Amino acid sequence: MALRFEVLGRFNRARAAQLTLPHFVCQTPLFMPVGTQGTIKGLTNDQLEEIGCQIILGNTYHLALRPTSELLDELGGLHSFMKWPRALLTDSGGFQMVSLLHLADITEKGVTFQSPIDGKPMLLTPEESIQIQNRVGADIIMALDDVVKTTITGPRIEEAMYRTLRWIDRCVAAHKRPNEQNLFGIVQGGLDPVLRDICVRGLVERNLPGYAIGGLSGGEDKDSFWRVVAQCTAALPEDKPRYVMGVGYPLDIVVCSALGADMYDCVYPTRTARFGTALVPEGVLKLKHQAMADDTRPIDPSCSCMVCKNFSRAYIHCLVTKDAMGSQLLSYHNLYYMMKLSRDLHSSIVHEKFPEFVCKFLQKMFPKGDVPEWVCNAMEVAGIDISSCCYPISSSYDLNSYEQVRQD
Ligand SMILES: [Zn+2]
């Protein structure tokens, strides 16, 4: 194990922790931007440090194709290749293959796919995924899992969950650098609480350095989403980090943190920036909108980032459709927003002001008090009273129903 996880403060299920990784001492909850090929589009490493990025996520699939893991290994790993002094996390590569390549197929051996370079059939096994990630050298590496969409039902979900458990042992056995890199297991099981429970127990038995909750953010409804997160966080060990994969909407991060999750990653903040959208406390601001053309205010008057200190909405409106600088400035602001959200979550928990923070966050996003019912339900399970900032919950939802499986 190459990490230390110390909880510094709690509010019910929510926790603020210090996560010490080989390359950086991180504060959780934290958001990790996705740097597909060793770069966050349009931002320099200095800017990423200035914004407060603690961990960057690299896509193993893209890195393995270019520059290749062998070259990265030769050059001293991804840290030295991209001159990033802080922490890195790599995914297993499986998700990218399944989502990007039409002909990807999963068998017991691994993920088979057609090479995008020469069209030849290729196979990514759990052993190979770990070998590649060992060469890339990130602080946190992810087990190869059998990914299925949460919207799929039936025996395929069960097959994928059991296969994920079989593959974790192959990943652990293949891992050659356990003292320098932390292998996280991924909880699968779709929206089925029984399968999720079996998977959590199986992974916890393996005593891994950290655990991810996978297979979400795939189009499932929000109530199913938070219930899976709540079930998994309740069953995962207190002294290990919990990472919800693919989550990047600010509201989802606040809800998951209230339920006891610590880490998040998503392309959303940078992708939406490229489409001209800024994240603001009220929700989003579309800079392409004609109303921005003569708006002299900054994107977010309450934001103290470099972009908001220097530029008007009108200026960014001008750039956003014509010049790469527009999406760079928006990416900068959006990542700054995510990092500030991470810091605010951390410090409000440490300073015992978490419920107040949640209420203020919801009041800004839902000034009329129309907080979605799923948020109200999740907050009730998290033990956070938001009645001062939203309408009372109308449904008679049974708080304990989602945890019954665990108690059997
Ligand atoms: Zn800003």
pLDDT of residue 401: 37
pTM of the model as a whole: 0.93
- CA of 287 from ligand 1 middle (Å) equals 13
CA dist 388 and 138 (Å) reads 44
pLDDT of residue 102: 64
- CA of 343 from ligand 1 middle (Å) equals 15
pLDDT of residue 198: 98
- CA of 279 from ligand 1 middle (Å) equals 9
Task: Break the chain into its structural domains and give their ranges.
Answer: 4-266, 273-339
Contact partners, residue 80, CB within 8 Å, separation at least 6 = none
Profile the chain (408 residues) by mean pLDDT over runs of 10 residues: 97 98 98 85 93 96 89 94 96 82 84 82 92 97 90 89 98 98 97 97 98 92 97 98 96 98 96 95 96 96 97 96 89 98 98 96 92 95 89 45 33
| Residues lying with their CB under 5 A of ligand 1, a single-atom ion | 303, 305, 307-308, 333
- CA of 47 from ligand 1 middle (Å) equals 13
Q: Is 221 a catalytic residue?
A: no
Binding-site residue positions for Zn(2+): 303, 305, 308, 333
Of the options 3.40.50.300, 3.30.565.10, 2.30.40.10, 3.20.20.105, the CATH number for the domain spanning 4-266: 3.20.20.105
pLDDT of residue 407: 33
Q: Residue 304: exposed, middle, or buried by beta-carbon count in 10 A (0-12, 13-18, 19+)? A: exposed
Q: Is 91 a catalytic residue?
A: yes
- CA of 83 from ligand 1 middle (Å) equals 26
The residue from 146, 197, 252, 265 that is catalytic is: 265
Binding-site residue positions: 91-95, 145, 188, 215, 303, 305, 308, 333
Q: Encoding tokens for residue 127?
A: 């052993």
The residue from 46, 91, 146, 300 that is catalytic is: 91
Would you say 66 and 41 are in contact if contact means Cβ atoms under 8 Å apart? no
Q: Residue 168: exposed, middle, or buried by beta-carbon count in 10 A (0-12, 13-18, 19+)? A: buried
pLDDT of residue 394: 45
Q: Encoding tokens for residue 226?
A: 């938070």
